[in-house]
Structure formats: structure tokens, C-alpha cells
Homo-oligomer: A and B are copies of this chain.
């Protein structure tokens, strides 16, 4: 038997699993399986809690890459101060639900057409290189518009404990800190509407102390770069990096502690940042826990000493849960038999999908109550980097149904 991660507290009840006020069985009966259900009540609750914890000077942005479903974006956009996008495709989706003044576009290798779309719409470009800056300035000139340009900084430190380190090393992301002040001066001199800094040191960290320390270092770096550039940034995007507990032993980030520490940091910030606004950009933390992936058991079989529940959902919809996306060691996401929440485990089973590959294993030898064909299996933490980050076309089973439940 192998451990699994903790079931999010929103769902850890008894009996029937309920999502957005409706039982998992009812969702499946109505919409078929496999399907994702996203409970916006959970998103609202988390954002309200985070808003209360953060200092007023800091707004919350949603990184839509975590869940770009149009219905999800429509529901989350009014709840956050800004949307961050990472491609022309995401920009188009964001513009349908948010004013361009509150949209910023980061990501390496932006094509000219993407730069043009952002400048024409009035969204902010987070510049990833000096070459990209030149291209954006040239396109702004062609369009007769002062482009809104922020500089993404490759910081000279990293977020400790983060699943994906994005600072403290050579990187395709952002401009190395030492070259940033010169670039900012050039942008201003050439008539751009300089919007400030975007500094992202890592993601998926559960280490509260490391997040606090990184945020303080990020504010200090922004102040230093602004002083060297001789210019006051309108906005400092502090990045995100708040993880969520996926695996056994994981515990959530202490949001209150982070917010209090950031408040203290901002209270004594250098004069060059006195008028700056701040933003925290989160994807996974906002969207991850609200989503549940529901599958039906199609077959139950024993091979050798192992029992398998073979389900109609798999890695084509939930690649990360199979351990094949950005993880080195495969560990179990939390899963449950949806009709038997809170019951004592009765057996050890492996949960696999219908793909004809050994990679398609969503839970490896977990202890669960007994399940039979027809029963619904829930895979939690499916709200971020699930459907959109999985190979939906692989093996021809088709895309998943996705439902936003506005409870």
C-alpha cells in the first residue's frame, strides 16, 4: 500500500462526495463521464481569505494558464484584480472577460503577431528579453501607440522549496537583473508606457518561510532596480509560487503569515516604491483545489496479487496525476470512491485509465473502500493544470467534459 495526498478539506465529508451542492453520482448521471467539475464557491472562499490576508496595496492576479476554460475565466475574472496570460490565444480569452488595463502578457518567444495584438488592445507586455523589447517598440511605433511595457526580471535568487525554480540561474525567462535598469531607461527614453516589473522566482512551494523571504527579496530587488533606473514603477508583480498540497505529508501555505509579512515588508518599503502598486500572480493556488475529476469504473480485475479498477478517465485528461508531467518520482494524488467518502478502506487497489499504456495509472496501490464497475472515482486537485495540460487527443478517447458549478 502506498500513501496518497490529503483530500482538500472542502470535500472531506462522509458518505456521498458533494461538489457545488450536487453529488458526484448526479453530476455523472447528468453530464456523463469522465468529467471535470469546478466548484466556484471554493474559488470565492479562497480568494476572500487571501484578500483578507494581503495588504491593501497588493492585488491578486489569476494566471489563466492554470485553467483557461472560458466559463471558468468568466466566473473568476470579477473576483481578481488582473489576469495574466502567456500566449496570444490566452490573451484573446482574457479580453472577453476583463478590461485590457488589467491584463498582462508574459512568456518567452512572443511572436510579432502576439506583441501587436497586446499593444493594439492596450494590455501590458511583460518583456522577456531585450530583443523582444526592440520588437515591441517597433510595433508600437507602427501602430502609433505607446506600448505598455513591464520588464520581467530574472532574479538573482530562487524560491526555496519550489517545484519549479525560475530564478537564481540562467533562464529563458526575463532579463538578467544586472541588465534591467539600462533596459528600463531605454524604454522610457523611447516613449513606452513603462508599467514596472514582473519578478517570478518559482512556483508550487509549500514553504511559508521561503515564500515570505522571497517576497521580501523581490521587493528589495524591485527597489534596487528602480533606483538604478531612476524611475518609479507603477506596478511590481511579485510572482506567485504558493503551492497546494498534492502528496502525502504536504501541508498548505500559511496565507495569513504570508500576508502579514508582506504587509510589514511593504510598510517599510524604500521611497522609490512609495507609489507603486503590487500584485501576486497565482494560478494553481486559486484554481487547483476547486476541481474534481470524476471517472466511472469500467472493469475490475485481479492480475497476480494486484487488483485494478479500470476507469473511463485517464492521463489524457489528467496527465499530472499519472506522474508524467514535471515530476521525477511518481506519487499519488488524493483519490476517493465518490459514494463512500470517509469510510474505512477495505482493500488495496490501483486505479488505471483506458489508455493502452502502462503510464496511464492515476493511483498506485492505494487503500480504498470496495468499488465495482459503475462506481464513480474522484481524483482531487484537478482544477489547475488538468484538462488543458493533458494530451486530450492521445489514443482517441476524446476530450473531457468540463463543468463550472456556481454554487
Which residues of A pack against B, CB within 8 Å? 65, 68, 85-90, 92-93, 106-111, 128-132, 154, 164-166, 169-173, 176, 298-301, 303-306, 308, 310-312, 319, 324-326, 328, 350, 352-359, 361, 373, 387-398
* Given A170-B304, A172-B308, A391-B390, A326 contacting B108 (CB threshold 8 A): no
**Interfacial chain B residues near A130, Cβ < 8 Å:** 301
**Interfacial chain B residues near A306, Cβ < 8 Å:** 170
Whether B87 lies near A354 (C-beta < 8 A) is yes
Nearest CB of B to A309, in Å: 9
Chain B residue nearest to A86 (CB atoms) is B356
Whether A304 lies near B87 (C-beta < 8 A) is no
Query: Nearest 3 pairs between A and B by C-beta?
Result: A89-B396, A170-B304, A170-B306
Chain B residue nearest to A358 (CB atoms) is B164
Nearest CB of B to A320, in Å: 10
- Distance A306 CA – B169 CA, assembled complex (angstroms): 9
Chain B residue nearest to A152 (CB atoms) is B356
Whether A354 lies near B108 (C-beta < 8 A) is yes
**Interfacial chain B residues near A301, Cβ < 8 Å:** 128-131, 172
Residue among A129, A306, A312 with the highest chain B CB neighbour number at 10 A: A129
- Distance A356 CA – B176 CA, assembled complex (angstroms): 16
Whether B303 lies near A107 (C-beta < 8 A) is no
Whether B109 lies near A312 (C-beta < 8 A) is yes
- Distance A106 CA – B303 CA, assembled complex (angstroms): 17
Nearest CB of B to A137, in Å: 15
* Given A129-B301, A173-B356, A312-B109, A86 contacting B328 (CB threshold 8 A): no
**Interfacial chain B residues near A312, Cβ < 8 Å:** 109, 111
Partner among B87, B165, B391 whose Cβ is within 8 Å of the Cβ of A388: B391
Nearest CB of B to A2, in Å: 14
Nearest CB of B to A63, in Å: 8
Whether A110 lies near B354 (C-beta < 8 A) is yes
Partner among B85, B319, B392, B395 whose Cβ is within 8 Å of the Cβ of A65: B395
**Interfacial chain B residues near A68, Cβ < 8 Å:** 393, 396
Whether B108 lies near A303 (C-beta < 8 A) is no
Partner among B169, B353, B356, B398 whose Cβ is within 8 Å of the Cβ of A89: B398
**Interfacial chain B residues near A166, Cβ < 8 Å:** 358
Whether B354 lies near A396 (C-beta < 8 A) is no
Whether B392 lies near A392 (C-beta < 8 A) is yes
Whether A356 lies near B298 (C-beta < 8 A) is no
- Distance A93 CA – B90 CA, assembled complex (angstroms): 31
Partner among B107, B132, B397, B398 whose Cβ is within 8 Å of the Cβ of A355: B107
Nearest CB of B to A328, in Å: 7
- Distance A154 CA – B361 CA, assembled complex (angstroms): 17
**Interfacial chain B residues near A93, Cβ < 8 Å:** 396
**Interfacial chain B residues near A108, Cβ < 8 Å:** 299, 308, 310, 352, 354, 356
Nearest CB of B to A76, in Å: 16
Whether B299 lies near A176 (C-beta < 8 A) is no
- Distance A300 CA – B130 CA, assembled complex (angstroms): 10
- Distance A263 CA – B272 CA, assembled complex (angstroms): 80
**Interfacial chain B residues near A397, Cβ < 8 Å:** 87-89
**Interfacial chain B residues near A165, Cβ < 8 Å:** 358
Chain B residue nearest to A68 (CB atoms) is B396
* Given A111-B312, A154-B303, A396 contacting B358 (CB threshold 8 A): no
**Interfacial chain B residues near A303, Cβ < 8 Å:** 154, 170-172, 176
**Interfacial chain B residues near A171, Cβ < 8 Å:** 303-304, 358
Whether A132 lies near B388 (C-beta < 8 A) is no
- Distance A387 CA – B396 CA, assembled complex (angstroms): 12
Nearest CB of B to A71, in Å: 15
- Distance A306 CA – B154 CA, assembled complex (angstroms): 13
* Given A393-B392, A395-B65, A352 contacting B172 (CB threshold 8 A): yes
21 contacts between A and B (CB under 8 A): A65-B396, A68-B396, A86-B395, A90-B395, A92-B396, A107-B354, A109-B312, A110-B298, A110-B354, A128-B310, A129-B301, A131-B299, A164-B359, A170-B305, A172-B303, A172-B308, A172-B358, A172-B361, A328-B328, A388-B393, A389-B393
